[in-house]
Amino acid sequence: MAFWSDEQLASIDRMLNPRSIAVVGATPRMQYGGRFLAAAMGSADQGVNVYPVNPRYEEVQGVQCYPSVSALPEAPDVVGVVVPYHAVLDTLRESHEKGAKSAIVISAGFAERAVDDRRDLQGELGRFARESGMRVSGPNCLGLANLKDDIWASASSRGASGLSGPIGLVCQSGASAFGPFMTRAVDEGIGFTYIVSTGNEADLDFCDFARYLLDDDDTRVIAGFVEGFKDGRKFLEVARLAAERGKPIVLIKIGRSDLGSRAAGSHTAALTGVDEAYEAAFAQYGVIRVQDYDDLLQVSNLMARCPRPSKRGVAVVSHSGGISSLTADMFGQAGLDLPPLSERAQDGINGILKGFGWAANPSDVTGFANSDEFPAIMSYMAEDEGVGTLVVASAGADPQATQVIAQRDASGMPVAFLWTGTRGAQSGLPMLRQAGIPVFYVPDKLAAGVRYLNDYHDWRERRLARGFAQAGEITDEQAGAAKALEGSGALSEYDSKALVRAFGVPTTREEVAADAESVVAAAERIGYPVALKVNSADILHKTEAGGIRLGLGDAEAVRNAFGDVTANARAFDANARIDGTVVQEMVSGGVETIVGVSYDAQLGPILLFGTGGVMVEVYNDVALRLCPITREDALEMIDEVKGARLLSGFRGAPVADVDALADVLVNVSQMAVQLEGSLGELDINPLMVLPKGQGVKAADALVVGTA
Amino acid sequence: MAFWSDEQLASIDRMLNPRSIAVVGATPRMQYGGRFLAAAMGSADQGVNVYPVNPRYEEVQGVQCYPSVSALPEAPDVVGVVVPYHAVLDTLRESHEKGAKSAIVISAGFAERAVDDRRDLQGELGRFARESGMRVSGPNCLGLANLKDDIWASASSRGASGLSGPIGLVCQSGASAFGPFMTRAVDEGIGFTYIVSTGNEADLDFCDFARYLLDDDDTRVIAGFVEGFKDGRKFLEVARLAAERGKPIVLIKIGRSDLGSRAAGSHTAALTGVDEAYEAAFAQYGVIRVQDYDDLLQVSNLMARCPRPSKRGVAVVSHSGGISSLTADMFGQAGLDLPPLSERAQDGINGILKGFGWAANPSDVTGFANSDEFPAIMSYMAEDEGVGTLVVASAGADPQATQVIAQRDASGMPVAFLWTGTRGAQSGLPMLRQAGIPVFYVPDKLAAGVRYLNDYHDWRERRLARGFAQAGEITDEQAGAAKALEGSGALSEYDSKALVRAFGVPTTREEVAADAESVVAAAERIGYPVALKVNSADILHKTEAGGIRLGLGDAEAVRNAFGDVTANARAFDANARIDGTVVQEMVSGGVETIVGVSYDAQLGPILLFGTGGVMVEVYNDVALRLCPITREDALEMIDEVKGARLLSGFRGAPVADVDALADVLVNVSQMAVQLEGSLGELDINPLMVLPKGQGVKAADALVVGTA
């Protein structure tokens, strides 16, 4: 619980469930100050005291107005701040003195202006909030709404008033939260516990509100729209806790392309991390990433409304063959199976259809989708072998909706609806929405949603079973070896390998030798054939420098190579420090792979695995994970890389030692965590994976320190 | 014009624009027969004569009813047939005798029942239509609607009555045409020229109606939902003509997964082709493939409403930073560029924003999106350098819509709207729809749409410039070489190479020799090192049989290898016909590629290109095209394959002879066309691509005849 204190969560609690709201900068006009007051006033029926504050008015929108926060009759739970940017800090100070519990700063003009003094001002605002304990949302946000109790502390219309439901929505963009998300949710009858906009996040950020929602029993899914995380690791902690509690996080995260980052960077001043690292993190922590407004709402609703399917198979029933076949096609594309109908179910349904339609999965039940027999048809399909989810694709009038709701209630299984009619239908559709049946409007989105539903629960079961990987203790020996990094940039290949060996990565046998006879002696100890490489931390690309000779089969070859290699290296860079040469065991018969570590500013150490050589460069065929990883994570990484087929006996080659490879991935992930701060990057390329039982060997390695 | 006759198009014309409609099987009840009559009756105001036919009634739905078609007072332009399946053919015969011009068979119970006698009955129906010249749509369809004149000959509600527009919609599935497509189009105010459902396509099919629509000036885009084409080449001809005339075809085509094909196969009895071949065909013929109801409508509308963008750059203006950044992110993901705003435009917009928002691309113009200054802001962005399309992302009330429409009208450029509010908005949105501004509701779909708009027109320009490839004449020499295929299955490597050489594919030098001394003599002529391979059409996998020796450097090695290879082959298969051995030039220093030909039942010869070896097998990294191809097609194929980076000087290797490779691709594509019927498949693997100027060489080839 390093990231959150009880006091902080209590302050958020007051902000989201206030009994009193002050609105500083309240006006009669329907601009931000006036809108905030009007929205707050709508909460008066719920017993919330609302206090306009503005020295220019005695009364605003029919309510008594106060000249200052200090003049209020009580210390408000939350203060809405709608004053010019330069007056915000004073308002916060006064509110704190009055005893206010929290504040929401609507005012803009801070870090989003991308000039230093405004960034500084925002920093000051954040510091004040943290030091005073009166926590702040914003600036440059639109506030928040509590839909459970219909209490609004926002500068928006009360557009979703009365629409409570199981989704907690947190967005950095206020105009998105109270724009498309709110209006589309109203369109579809999808309800929220809370809608929160966090703006520039001077103090409280997305993760803080998400953390609060984890403790809220009414919130079953956390939905978010994030342009950039202020603290990636804080997000990971939220995601970890969410996984433990079984509350899915569904996110739109900007950063799919550079264009989005450019826009996000300009307007919220939030950092947008490298997208690939986030993709890896989301996969590793079970976060569902979607990419549009409707997706976020529909997928969140599905996740909140449906239990875990007992099986991955889907049954699709429709009144139309064309609709059935498109739906089935999309389920196939999403990687889900429609198990063929059992004979029992076929017979049962054929007994109803009597020669019309098609008793199969997907089925085409023609007009029987709107008949008294439809419940029996649904039951046959839903109860069939291998079926965990029932999908109805239709647009029937009311009796159909009642039947589908009854089927859901009786079976307790996930039932989703593909609505194929007008979105403005007055019969059927509103009942489905009201009853919490997840409704989709196009087959591919429905199929993707059902895939998420299955994948999330399957992922969570695996994750809870294996746990999240923990950082291990560094041994004295490892700490000693890591001294090589102190004040260092790139290490030589020889030193790099020595370091990775200390952390559990087997390497080729090798010795340093600085004259021809020592080189020959070393080669005899190692055994022919050997490789000879110039040993220099200053020459990173040894091949270009002519500093490598491979496959040397006898003493004579070694002696000649020594002369060449040292001469070439000198000619390549007269100033390079050269510490003799490395005599190295040649590895043959293995599969080339690459293992690497980099550090993401937001997410920390990232482990990379790929198959070596051309495959990585041409196909970018790599798997990434945040460090550390478990052994199961390692095996999944290997599985994820297409080129890893080469490890399993491709074209008659021997099966490679995947167990040893997995060990190395785990060890390197621990190394990356333990050496964070001193290690800058690491490349083991190639890591040769030998036939099963013979282990792996790093044939080359490059360690770069942070100095 | 081999596929269509003037008579056929005239019959379709009567069906789509009838002055008289008979409804055989008309009833008072609102089942198919009653619905067809009611829909047709709605056309009476347009001066269409509607005749119910049913011996059981004197009058139906208030209209005089006739006992038979022959009793009608005139020969109807179209006869709607809604009688039991076994009575359909008689009804058609009677209608033809009466002089009817066309018929629509709603009745089901034909090939979709997947039993032989019903398939036969459908075949008979199709034959009757073709022979009589009274062409037929259906059976198992829902009919069609002419929205231009509001004339309906369909067993559906007149749900889109009055909604005319530039899209011609043709669907095999009637429940889809008059279900989701019609209702969603009404939701969005997207209009049609015609809606046609073709059902089982006993006679007229998707392509016939699409062909008709090419001649209809009011139809600017052809939209379709196809489960399977009856004749793939007919579709290609439609697509070719559509490209010439600049009418985009936008399609949903089932077959993304096996599940969809299973469903489609079961219900329309249409053949679903292999999806990869269709993907290639669509790319080659400029067909836009989408995958859901809303996509089909929104993309078709965009294509119909927007001119070609003058540049590929997009400008995005919004009232919100969060909405802007998500939109920009999606444009980046779609591969389109948002050119940075010029200083002039920045200054101009900043002069309006006065410190609020963000003058950039994408821009965040805050409340100025709903102000008198919005037109000036849009102009600055739309007229900026590199901008060809303007995107407005907002949900403003009416003045905003008027401004956007005026901007579109004044600039004549593509203007698309991302509507971020409720879909039921009463202000703004209806005006945009009415004015034909393409509206999208989520950013990724908008971005994909604008990408299609740019890509289609760019593709068409290139395609019109280069033309579609034409089949060349086969030479006498080639025809002679092709005799080897007569009555033949697989050819030996030697014969296979001789055949491909005749069609312009350079191969390794090689000679057949059947005793040790001839082998050595051949090797001396070819030059060492050589390869030696057993020569047998019965041993296709020579490596497994021990029938190959590579890199033989002198006469002695060749002599020994000859003994081994023949002995191994004998041991491997005592019954194999062995025609000595092939002495073959060794090729070194090239890049391995693969070139192949297969034949698709629907689309004919398909050319495959990939980089050789592991890349193809692990990554399925291949490009496909229908044959024949142009040289530009060949270069595009090469470009499409990721592994082709190896051809352009990867990691310091020499640049490969891509020109020679392109020649071979063109030549093989011609060969595939010229030998259709006798050639079954062809593999050139590897085709070695040598350094620039040195050409290519087939090191192995396998030709399989159809016998």
3-state helix/strand/coil string of A298-348: HHHHHHHHCCCCCCCEEEEEECCHHHHHHHHHHHHHCCCCCCCCCHHHHHH
**Rounded CA separation A675/A114 (Å):** 35
Q: What is the Cα Rg of chain A in Å?
A: 31
DSSP string, A547-567: -EEEEE-SHHHHHHHHHHHHH
Closest approach of chain B CAs to the CA of A482, in angstroms?
33
For the domain spanning B591-705, the CATH number is 3.30.470.20
DSSP one-letter code for A102: E
Q: Which residues of B touch A445 (CB under 8 A)?
A: 292
- Taking 50 as the threshold, does the pLDDT of residue B272 lie above it? no
Q: What is the pLDDT of residue B105?
A: 98
Is residue A410 a contact partner of residue A375, using CB atoms and an 8 Å limit? no
The DSSP string of A255-293 is: -SSHHHHHHHHHHH------HHHHHHHHHHHTPEE--SH
Query: Chain A: residue nearest B321 by CA?
Result: A267
Q: What is the pLDDT of residues A643-661, one digit of tens each?
A: 989 999 887 789 999 999 9
Alpha helices in B31-87 (DSSP H): 32-41
- Distance, in Å, from the CA atom of B524 to the CA atom of B508, rounded to the nearest integer, reads 15
Predicted TM-score of the model (pTM): 0.94
Pairing verdict, β A387-394 and A313-318: parallel
B21 neighbors B102 (Cβ within 8 angstroms): no
Is pLDDT at B614 greater than 80 in this prediction? Answer: no
Determine whether the interchain pair A180/B328 forms a contact, defined as Cβ–Cβ distance below 8 Å. Answer: no
End-to-end CA distance of chain B: 32
Whether cis (ω within 30° of 0) applies to the bond prior to A309 is: no
Mean pLDDT (whole number) for B130-134: 97
What are the pLDDT digits (tens) for B315-356? 999 999 999 999 999 999 999 999 999 999 999 999 999 888
Percent of chain B with pLDDT over 70: 98
Residues of B in Cβ contact (< 8 Å) with A325: 173, 227, 254, 260, 263-264, 267
Closest partner residue to B260 (CB to CB) among A187, A254, A332 is: A332
CATH hierarchy code of domain B509-586: 3.30.1490.20
Residue B15 above 50 pLDDT?
Answer: yes
Mean pLDDT of chain B: 93
pLDDT of residue B578: 87
Looking only at the bridges linking them, the beta strands covering B604-611 and B591-600 are antiparallel
The DSSP code for A109 is -
Question: A6-302 belongs to which CATH class?
Answer: alpha beta
Query: Cα–chain-centroid distance for residue B30?
Result: 38
- From the list A187, A324, A642, the residue facing B618 with the nearest CB is A642
Q: Chain A window 592-651: which residues touch B at a Cβ cutoff of 8 Å?
A: 614-615, 617-619, 621, 642-643, 645-646, 650-651
Q: Does A657 touch chain B (CB under 8 A)?
A: no
**Nearest to B700, CA basis, from B564, B559, B610, B596:** B596
- What spatial distance separates the first Cα and last Cα of chain A, rounded to whole Å? 32
Residue window 517-576, chain A: list those with CB within 8 Å of chain B.
none
Beta carbons within 8 Å of A652's beta carbon, 6+ residues apart: none
pLDDT digits (tens, 9 = 90+) for A251-286: 999 988 777 666 555 444 444 457 889 999 999 999
Whether cis (ω within 30° of 0) applies to the bond prior to B529 is yes
Q: What is the pLDDT of residue A545?
A: 85
CATH level 2 (architecture), domain B310-465: 3-Layer(aba) Sandwich (3.40)
Residues of B in contact with A441 (CB under 8 A): 293-294
Eight-state DSSP code of residue B171: E
A236 sits in which H/E element: helix A232-245
Residue B458 confidence (pLDDT) above 90: yes
Residue A274 burial by CB count (10 A; 0-12/13-18/19+): exposed, middle or buried?
middle
Both tokens of A316, joined, read: 């699709």
Average pLDDT of the residues in A295-304: 98
CB contact under 8 Å between B292 and A442, yes or no, is: yes
Instruction: Using a CB–CB cutoff of 8 Å, tell me whether A319 touches chain B.
Output: yes
A29 dihedral zone (left: phi>0; alpha: psi -120 to 50; beta)? beta
Give Cα B430 distance to the centre of its chain. 33
A279: contact with B, CB 8 A cutoff: no
Which chain B residues contact residue A180 at CB under 8 A? 323, 395, 420-421
Secondary structure E strands in A448-566:
510-513, 530-534, 548-552
Strand, helix or coil for residue B360? coil
Q: Which fold has domain A509-585?
A: Dna Ligase; domain 1 (3.30.1490)
pLDDT score at B219: 98
Radius of gyration of chain B (CA): 31
Question: For residue A459, how many C-alpha atoms fall within 13 Å in the half-sphere facing its CB?
Answer: 23
CB contact at 8 A, A94 and A68: yes
Interface test with B, best of A326, A336, A354, A593 (most B CBs within 10 A): A326
**Cα B284 to chain centroid, rounded:** 8
CB distance from A670 to chain B under 8 Å?
no
Prediction ipTM score: 0.92
- With b for 16 or more beta-carbon neighbours within 10 A and e for fewer, the B501-513 pattern comes to ebbebbbbebbbb
CATH of the domain spanning A311-464, picked from 3.40.190.10, 3.40.50.720, 3.30.300.30, 3.40.50.261: 3.40.50.261
Residues 436-455, chain B, touching A (beta carbon < 8 A)? 441-445
Alpha-carbon distance A71 to nearest alpha carbon in chain B (angstroms)? 32
Whether the per-residue pLDDT at B188 is higher than 80: the answer is yes
Question: pLDDT exceeding 70 applies to what percent of chain A?
Answer: 98
Q: What is the pLDDT of residue B209?
A: 98
| Count of Cβ atoms closer than 10 Å to residue B706 Cβ | 15
Instruction: Tell me if chain A has a CB within 8 Å of the CB of B320.
Output: yes
What is the per-residue pLDDT for A225? 97
Backbone angles phi, psi at B609, to 5 degrees: -135, 140
User: How big is chain B, counted in residues?
Assistant: 707
- Which of B172, B260, B321 minimises the CB distance to A329? B260
Read off the amino acid at residue A516: A
Instruction: Find residues 347-376 of chain A whose CB sits inside 8 Å of chain B.
Output: 355-356, 358, 360, 362, 364
The answer to whether the CB of B54 falls within 8 A of the CB of B26 is yes
Q: Is the CB of residue A223 less than 8 Å from the CB of residue A180?
A: no
Secondary structure of B572-633 in HEC code, one letter for each residue? HCCCCCCCCEEEEECCCCCEEEEEEEEEECCCEEEEEEEECCHHHHHHCCEEEEECCCCHHH
Task: Tell whether A659 is within 8 A of chain B (Cβ).
Answer: no
Residue A590: pLDDT over 50: yes
Asked if B322 lies within 8 A of A267 by C-beta distance, the reply is yes
What's residue A356's pLDDT?
83
Between B43 and B543, residue with greater pLDDT: B43
Cβ atoms of B158 and B42 closer than 8 Å: yes
Q: Kindly list the domain boundaries of chain A, sorted by start residue.
A: 6-302, 311-464, 509-585, 591-705
Chain B residues touching residue A173 (CB < 8 angstroms) = 320-323, 325
CA dihedral A551, A554, A557, A562 (to 10 degrees): 90
Lowest mean pLDDT among A23-32, B111-120, B199-208: B111-120
Give the list of residues 6+ apart from residue B395 with CB closer than 8 angstroms, or none.
A179, A180, A183, B419, B420, B421, B422, B425, B428, B429
Beta-ladder partners of B275: none
Dihedral Cα B582, B588, B590, B592, nearest 10 deg: 50
B312 CB within 8 Å of a chain A CB: no
Q: Which residues contact B484 (CB under 8 A, 6 or more apart)?
A: B491, B495, B498, B499
Task: Give contacts of B444 with chain A, Cβ < 8 Å.
Answer: 291-292
Whether A174 and B325 lie within 8 Å, measured CB to CB: no
The C-alpha atoms of residue A42 and residue A59 are separated, in whole angstroms, by 17
* Domain pair A6-302 / A311-464, same fold: yes
Structure tokens at A182: 């709110």
Give the pair of three-digit tokens for residue B409.
């009208």
Instruction: Give the pairing type, strands B591-600 and B679-689.
Output: antiparallel
- In whole angstroms, give the CA distance from residue B559 to residue B304: 72
State how far the alpha carbon of B409 is from the alpha carbons of A258, A624, B249, B371, B435, in Å: 32, 49, 26, 19, 10
Q: Across the interface, which of B252, B617, B643 has its CB nearest the CB of A618? A: B643
In this complex, the residue of A326, A356, A621 whose CB is nearest that of residue B254 is: A326
Q: What is the pLDDT of residues B84-125, one digit of tens each?
A: 999 999 999 999 999 999 999 999 999 988 889 999 999 999
Q: How confident is the model at residue A115 (pLDDT cuts 50, 70, 90)?
A: confident
A586 Cβ contact list (under 8 Å, min separation 6):
A508, A529, A530, A531, A550, A551
CA nearest to B269 within chain A:
A321
